[in-house]
Amino acid sequence: MAAPRRPSGGGLRRAPQDGRLEEINKEFLCDPKFSDEEDLEEKLAVFKEKYMEFDLNNQGEIDLMSVKRMMEKMGVPKTHLELKKMISEVTGGVSETISYQDFVNVMLGKRSAVLKLVMMFEGKANESNPKPSGPPPERDIASLP
């Protein structure tokens, strides 16, 4: 008899990371700097899910290749130099990886970081532009520009 299969996605490996990120979320919830932020708890939950989606090695940091995959997934591939600039903007030039705290600070911050714009664009694009299904409509020569 075959052994029971575990679902893919690293559920057991992600449990410790989930706990660490939840602790950081609690710090943000207690931080008076963010007390006037609307729906902070819901936003942090969304940020945590997005962060875990792109933290491919479950180390608690998003590295260059993870950012590269994220951009490619969104259909906006970038060069390594552009990706390094994005990471540098998020981390303030201190690190080559994006920690969860840096990620949340950018997403909640007032300055418009490239990563924040990209993440907002991804969310808006997914909800407002459903992909057409089926074959394209037939056109005749008269309808061409």
Whether 14 is covered by a domain: the verdict is: no
- 3-state secondary structure (DSSP) of residue 75: coil
Q: Which pair of structure tokens corresponds to residue 93?
A: 């030039």
Whether 32 is covered by a domain: the verdict is: yes
Give me the number of domains the chain comprises. 1
Q: Which pair of structure tokens corresponds to residue 24?
A: 């950081």
How do residues 90-107 score in pLDDT, each as one tens digit? Answer: 888 888 888 888 888 878
Q: Minimum mean pLDDT among 32-46, 63-77, 113-127: which range?
A: 113-127
Query: What predicted TM-score, i.e. pTM, was given to this entire model?
Result: 0.63
Q: What CATH number should be reported for the domain holding residue 41?
A: 1.10.238.10
Residues in the chain: 145
Per the CB < 8 A criterion, the answer to whether 70 and 83 are in contact is no
Amino acid identity, position 144: L
Name the band, by pLDDT with cuts 50, 70 and 90, for residue 16: confident
Q: Which pair of structure tokens corresponds to residue 108?
A: 């909640």
β-bridge mates for residue 61, sequence order: 99
Distances (CA, A) of 28 to 14, 39, 43: 21, 12, 11
Spacing of C-alpha 48 from chain mean position: 9
- Quote the domain boundaries for residue 51: 19-122
Whether 52 is covered by a domain: the verdict is: yes
Dihedral pair phi/psi, residue 37, rounded to 5°? -70, 125
